[in-house]
A = this chain, B = another copy of it.
Amino acid sequence: MTVVTGGVAGGVGDGVGGASAARPQLIREINERVLLDHIRRSGPISRTELAGLTGLSKPTVSAALSSLERSGLVHVTGQRTGVPGPAASLYEVRPEAGYVLGLDVGREFLRGAISDLSGSVRARLSVRTKAGDAMARIQELADLAVTLATEAGIQLTQLTQTVLGSPGVYDPRLDALTLTGRLSGWDSPATLAALRDRFGSSLMIENDIDAAAIAERVHGHGRNVDSFAFVSVGTGIGMGLVLDGKLRHGSHGVAGEIGYLPFTEGSGSDPRDARKRGGFDASASAAAVVRAARRAGVRGTSTAEKVFAAAARGDVVAAAVVAEEALLVAKAVCTVITVVDPDLIVLGGGIGQAPGFLEAVVKQLRQMAPVLPDVKASVLGTETVVAGCLAAGLDRSWQSLVGRTANSV
């Protein structure tokens, strides 16, 4: 009944670390994993094709597939005909071998989806939350889970993995949620206990922006690089860092909490926010933009979106506020470059994805960063966090299912 977070371990301790000795069975384990990966990626596929892709011999592929079929992870889905010779059996992942529930808890909305092991979404739903406190919010999440399961036509017990994208981070050393910011009461031990109680042992809690970064890796610009930073600027500020294809949480779970960058020179900073969500968040989040615009005398500045719209219309004062915001974000991106130097920076969030903002940030970056990596704006939308949770849950499900197979064979 432990909450596990993030990037599936899976690392083969490198060299000095402490790799352990290998038995012949390991070969089988590796090869089944490899085959499974190919089947996942290349849809229905024949034994011969798999043999070609992996370099394994036909008898070996056959034996391994039998084993995978016995354990229920793959099945024959049809025959390929139309070519000379006998019809080839086509294998694919058995979608019913597992189901993943992804949830996104925000201040205003709860979103969720259920996907099967093949990755297709069986049910999806967003609701506006009415909850006043943490416990009510958890109840709403549980209700959402039930609704989704019903719609997907499965039992809750069939879920192999549940992933909750949430503000705040899970600190494995303290076994607690911390830095939950705007979500009141969410960082209490009771919240964590209640979540575990409702969602069981397979619950995995992922920072919402980290989840979005995973989605970006699977569906967005992160597909073709193996290290990138997803920088989200909107209601709050945060980052998800993917290095060597793996999301990094850091040793206290705070990797990417760039709201706490020690930049305090912003014009719109609110000291109350600075304590709770970090100095940089207070200086550069949407609320700070609104404050700065109001102070500068821009009219009709109820939301950051309106400030950006005014700037786009040619309001020079609003444009100055936007430029200042771009400078702040560029500084944050510059720190990320100097510290980890990723292949790519993806800007996300309401402000990060605003038209023209990317260019403004890049312009500033050019003058301050030691190198200029690719910088792109995210093209994903409101379902990003849920998609990331599903992807993370799928990954983890695969790991555990394959592991289980290997042991039981």
List residues of chain A with CB under 8 Å of any chain B CB: 8, 10-17, 19-24, 26-27, 30-31, 33-34, 37, 41, 54-56, 171, 179, 226-227, 239, 241, 243-246, 248-262, 265, 278-279, 330-331, 334-343, 368-371, 373, 395, 398-399
Q: How far is the CA of A308 from the CA of B330 in the complex (A)?
A: 34
Please state if A253 and B369 are interface contacts (CB–CB under 8 Å).
no
Within the complex, what minimum Cβ distance (angstroms) separates A400 from chain B? Answer: 12
A250: B residues at CB distance < 8 A: 227, 340-342
The answer to whether residues A339 and B258 also contact, given A370-B179, A399-B15 and a CB cut-off of 8 A, is yes
Q: How far is the CA of A368 from the CA of B262 in the complex (A)?
A: 7
A21-B54, A227-B251, A279-B368 are known contacts; what are 18 more A-B pairs with Cβ within 8 Å?
A11-B244, A14-B244, A14-B245, A15-B398, A15-B399, A16-B395, A19-B34, A20-B55, A24-B27, A26-B27, A241-B339, A249-B341, A250-B342, A252-B373, A255-B340, A262-B330, A278-B370, A339-B340
Within the complex, what minimum Cβ distance (angstroms) separates A202 from chain B? Answer: 19
- Oligomer copy total: 2
A17: B residues at CB distance < 8 A: 226, 245
Contact of A371 among B12, B22, B252 (CB under 8 A): B252
Interface pairs A-B: 6 shortest CB-CB: A250-B341, A255-B341, A22-B30, A262-B331, A252-B371, A21-B54
Q: How far is the CA of A35 from the CA of B368 in the complex (A)?
A: 49
Please state if B22 and A27 are interface contacts (CB–CB under 8 Å).
yes
Please state if A245 and B16 are interface contacts (CB–CB under 8 Å).
yes
A30: B residues at CB distance < 8 A: 19, 21-22, 26
Q: Which residue of B lies closest to A54 (CB)?
A: B21
Contact of A370 among B11, B21, B249, B254 (CB under 8 A): B254
Contact of A31 among B22, B171, B258, B336 (CB under 8 A): B22
Within the complex, what minimum Cβ distance (angstroms) separates A115 from chain B? Answer: 16
A368: B residues at CB distance < 8 A: 260, 262, 279
Q: How far is the CA of A265 from the CA of B343 in the complex (A)?
A: 29
Q: Which residue of B lies closest to A19 (CB)?
A: B34
A336: B residues at CB distance < 8 A: 339
Contact of A254 among B24, B265, B371 (CB under 8 A): B371
